[in-house]
Amino acid sequence: MPNKITAADFAGWVQERGAYFASRWDDRYAAPLAMSDPGETQPNSSLLIAKDGNGYYVYTSLAFFRQLPAGVPGAYRDELTSLPGLRTWRRVYLFVFGCFILWVVLLLALTVHYS
């Protein structure tokens, strides 16, 4: 069961809440979430979801790339992923960070080996 998302989950977000909001999309997409920063128009494309084969295609304009590194609790609670073993944004962030570290170490090892 996913976490219930409330206004409190978006409290304390850094900089803008999102960017690159879609202005139009195919009818196969559902737009279940609409939000905006104070003083801005509210696009209906904060989250777009479409059935794709046996799964779903999810597009979000929300700026998780800013919120996760800043440790904003709501960004971790908002479970928008269904990857096996990565059922929270915190785990996704840690996985991506781990992959980044692995690539850096691999590139350093290859640089030392071939220089």
Report yes or no on 13 lying in a domain: yes
Report yes or no on 21 lying in a domain: yes
**pLDDT value at position 67?**
82
Dihedral sign of CA atoms 57, 60, 65, 69 in order: negative
**pLDDT value at position 95?**
77
Report yes or no on 1 lying in a domain: no
Q: Which residues touch 89 (CB under 8 Å, ≥6 apart)?
A: 64, 68, 75, 76, 77, 78, 79, 80, 81
Mean pLDDT of 81-99: 68
**pLDDT value at position 39?**
80
Domain count, the chain: 1
Report yes or no on 2 lying in a domain: no
Confidence of residue 110 (pLDDT cuts 50, 70, 90): very high
Report yes or no on 26 lying in a domain: yes
Flag whether pLDDT at 53 surpasses 80: yes
Confidence of residue 23 (pLDDT cuts 50, 70, 90): confident
CA 108 to each of CA 32, 102, 103, 104, 105: distance values in angstroms, whole numbers, following the listed order: 44, 10, 8, 6, 5
- Residues 85, 91: Cα–Cα separation, whole Å: 8
Q: 98 is in which domain, residue-wise?
A: 7-114
Q: Are 22 and 46 in contact (CB under 8 A)?
A: no
Query: What is the pTM (predicted TM-score) of this model?
Result: 0.54
Report yes or no on 59 lying in a domain: yes
